[in-house]
């Protein structure tokens, strides 16, 4: 690529071209301005409004830099997801905002929009210097402007921009793009300043989010295809970026205490959706999501923030979509290889997409969910680049029809994306609107059904109108039941189910109905703190004894002992019954059986085994004394 051509291009940046940057800002604000009036939703509380480090303002920055990213919310490092999270730069930006504005979601939303607009402008500049000979046309009908507009308008970005927490995605991509621009300028001018700025920018990118590491491959790829630099030499020359990544890894290691994993297996389905899957099912399901991502790039509808189990189904290699996805992936990679010299734009776009997508694909390491729309934020640059390039190429063909076709397709695509984005943004207004929009799409997600149930429960609590109040409670129970039908062992849903049942009990005082419904909760999770406290509460009133005694016997023996083999909690519930009536022969026998099997199968030390065997004999003797049938 001629340096003279690039210099000529840069010298043409006059007042008219500034309209391009201004237009990209206007487009960004036009699409997302409404979000300025929104509050905090989802993980915004974790990274900002209830993060103790962020709430210290500038004084909390060192805490942010020296701790895992969720520690400021939980008070300790929880390691809820594989590899933990260390993305301090977005939290630092929130701390600075808090220092000057306090908890002001409108300021945080405004900053997201401004940063997003700057990404659009940075892409415009990048595309200009990437292919200069296609960038000297009128700014409003040039390849860089078309591609940048498509990127800004794409609805898949609404999650990253309209959700304050998406700041990590925004900063990571912004600094990654600026790193690439600086590296190209370093190559084109030979000025060390650009190399130094690239190093600083890359550090900022990678401390925003780990995804930026993929630019260690993207930058040599760019220099190879668009600056005719030998690929091996390109990698060697980018050694400062490798050192930056190594520095990040060392810092991250020191902060969270381990490299990639602390050895603890994440067995919570909501943080590891592949729990219980065979290896073949995991791979097939990942490929299933890959083709789903392709679909969202081309046709971003419907959109949802929830792809948790089992909105994305669990599939095997007998699923035709998984097989088609594998074939399509292989085909695209072959196309990228085939066109590496014949059509660099096609090759670059495909490789850019797969390289930046690789880190969130679940192939390299689990990301805590099947997929997410925000994971396409960085890879979608390739899609915008490819579409913008060919829409522009169509317009410069020596055929009037081609020009009008190009204009029509561009306007239609930009309009369709903009309309979809504008209609999607209001979903992020608050937690209720977001959950309600998602549950209509992610109907088979345990998580969003629970969250919707919680939203209705929160509406139920302050409501004064009795009819509306219990309509909300009924809806809360309906969605929570859907969540448990999908994932019966979902602890949070079971806890909410018990809470809802308690509210119905307050309304109608029907203890029998309450206990019958509570049995399904106890069966799965008898150790819920709520259940323990409510059993204690109900057994303290002697008037409940006639109802509680047979219930506790039934749950302790028939459900927990015989059905689920949970001997520890079988003894707990049988013990509650024993406090009510210790002269029941059947109950003494049931307790004896539970102690006996606890000694046999409870994985106890020898002293405990002897203790439980002794107790089993005591209760069996009591049963024999109370009823001769047990003496046989």
Q: Which residue has the higher pLDDT, 508 or 114?
A: 114
3-state class percentages of the chain: helix first, strand second, coil last, to nearest 5 = 75, 0, 25
Mean pLDDT, residues 273-300 taken together: 96
Give the pLDDT band (50/70/90) at residue 133: confident
Q: For residue 82, what are its two tokens?
A: 């594989």
Output the pLDDT for position 573: 94
Q: Which residue has the higher pLDDT, 471 or 136?
A: 471
pLDDT surpasses 50 at 1: no
* pLDDT above 50 (res 53): yes
Rounded-to-10 torsion of CA 93, 99, 103, 105: -40
Distance of CA 416 to the CA centre of its chain: 26
What pLDDT score does 14 carry?
A: 55
Instruction: Lowest mean pLDDT of 86-95, 534-543, 615-624, name the range.
Output: 534-543
- Give mean pLDDT, residues 577-602: 92
Q: Give the whole-angstrom CA distance, residue 113 versus residue 294.
A: 26
Sign of the Cα pseudo-torsion (390, 392, 398, 401, in order) = positive
Query: In the prediction, which pLDDT does 258 show?
Result: 82
Question: Does 17 have pLDDT greater than 80?
Answer: no
Sorting pLDDT into bands at 50, 70 and 90, what band is 19?
A: confident
Mean per-residue pLDDT, 430-438 = 95
383-433 residue pLDDT tens: 999 999 999 998 888 788 888 999 999 999 999 999 999 999 999 999 999
Percentage with pLDDT > 70 across the chain: 96
- The reported pLDDT for the residue numbered 607 is 86
| Average pLDDT of the segment spanning 582-589 | 94
Which of 35-39, 288-292, 473-477, 536-540 comes out lowest in average pLDDT?
A: 536-540
Q: Which pLDDT does position 524 carry in this prediction?
A: 92
Tally of CB atoms within 10 A around 407 = 14
Backbone phi, then psi, for 490, in 5-degree steps? -70, 105
Is the pLDDT at 32 greater than 60? The verdict is yes
pTM for the complete prediction? Answer: 0.91
Q: How far, in Å, CA of 612 to CA of 92, rounded?
A: 55
pLDDT at site 23: 94
The answer, yes or no, to whether residue 10 has pLDDT greater than 70, is no
Q: Which residues contact 583 (CB under 8 A, 6 or more apart)?
A: 626
Average pLDDT, the chain: 92
Predicted confidence band of residue 12 (pLDDT cuts 50, 70, 90): low
| pLDDT for 13 | 54
Angle at 434 between CA 433 and CA 440, to 5 degrees: 90
């Amino acid at each position: 690529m001629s340096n003279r051509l690039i210099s000529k291009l840069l010298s043409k940046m006059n007042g008219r071209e500034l309209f391009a940057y201004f237009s990209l800002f206007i487009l960004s604000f036009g699409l997302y301005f409404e979000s300025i009036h929104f509050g905090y939703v989802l993980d915004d509380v974790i990274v900002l409004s209830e993060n103790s480090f962020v709430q210290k303002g500038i004084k909390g920055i060192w805490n942010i830099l020296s701790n895992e990213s969720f520690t400021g919310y939980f008070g300790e490092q929880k390691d809820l997801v594989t590899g933990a999270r260390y993305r301090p730069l977005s939290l630092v930006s929130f701390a600075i905002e808090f220092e000057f504005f306090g908890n002001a979601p409108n300021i945080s939303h405004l900053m997201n929009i401004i940063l997003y607009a700057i990404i659009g402008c940075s892409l415009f500049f990048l595309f200009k210097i990437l292919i200069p000979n296609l960038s000297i046309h009128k700014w409003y009908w040039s390849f860089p402007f078309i591609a940048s507009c498509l990127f800004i308008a794409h609805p898949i970005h609404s999650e990253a921009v309209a959700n304050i927490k998406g700041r990590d995605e925004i900063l990571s991509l912004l600094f990654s793009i600026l790193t690439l621009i600086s590296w190209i300028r370093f190559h084109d001018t030979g000025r060390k300043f650009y190399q130094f700025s690239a190093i600083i920018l890359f550090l900022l990118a990678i401390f925003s989010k780990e995804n930026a590491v993929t630019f260690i491959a993207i930058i040599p790829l760019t220099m190879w295809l668009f600056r005719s630099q030998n690929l091996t030499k390109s990698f060697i020359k980018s050694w400062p970026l490798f050192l930056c990544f190594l520095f990040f890894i060392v810092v991250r290691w020191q902060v969270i205490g381990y490299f990639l994993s602390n050895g603890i297996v994440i067995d919570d389905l909501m943080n590891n959706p592949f729990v219980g899957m065979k290896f073949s099912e995991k791979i097939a399901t990942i490929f299933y999501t890959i083709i789903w991502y392709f679909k969202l790039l081309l046709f971003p509808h419907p959109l949802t923030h929830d792809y948790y189990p089992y909105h994305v189904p669990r599939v095997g290699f007998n699923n035709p979509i998984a097989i088609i996805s594998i074939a399509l992936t292989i085909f695209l990679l072959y196309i990228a290889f085939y066109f590496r010299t014949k059509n660099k734009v096609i090759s670059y776009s495909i490789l850019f997409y797969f390289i930046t997508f690789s880190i969130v694909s679940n192939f390299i390491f689990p990301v805590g969910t099947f997929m997410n729309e925000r994971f396409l934020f960085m890879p979608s640059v390739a899609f915008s680049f490819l579409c913008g390039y060919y829409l522009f190429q169509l317009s410069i063909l020596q055929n009037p029809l081609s020009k009008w076709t190009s204009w029509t397709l561009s306007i239609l695509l930009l309009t369709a994306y903009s309309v979809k984005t504008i209609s999607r943004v209001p979903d992020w207004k608050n937690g209720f609107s977001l959950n309600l929009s998602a549950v209509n799409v992610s109907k088979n997600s345990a998580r969003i059904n629970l969250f919707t149930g919680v939203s209705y429960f929160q509406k139920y609590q302050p409501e004064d109108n009795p009819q509306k109040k219990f309509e909300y409670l009924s809806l809360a129970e309906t969605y929570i039941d859907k969540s448990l039908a999908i994932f019966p062992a979902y602890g949070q849903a079971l806890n909410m189910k018990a809470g809802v049942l308690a509210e119905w009990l307050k309304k109608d005082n029907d203890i029998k109905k309450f206990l019958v419904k509570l049995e399904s909760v106890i069966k799965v999770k008898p150790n819920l703190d709520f259940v323990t406290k409510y059993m204690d509460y109900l057994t303290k009133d002697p008037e409940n004894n006639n109802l509680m005694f047979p219930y506790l016997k039934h749950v302790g023996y028939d459900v927990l002992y015989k059905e689920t083999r949970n001997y520890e909690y079988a003894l707990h519930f049988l013990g509650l019954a024993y406090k009510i009536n210790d002269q029941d022969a059947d109950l003494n026998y049931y307790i004896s059986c539970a102690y006996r099997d606890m000694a046999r199968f409870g994985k106890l030390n020898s002293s405990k085994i002897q203790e439980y065997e002794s107790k089993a004999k005591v209760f069996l003797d009591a049963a024999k004394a109370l009823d001769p049938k047990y003496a046989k």
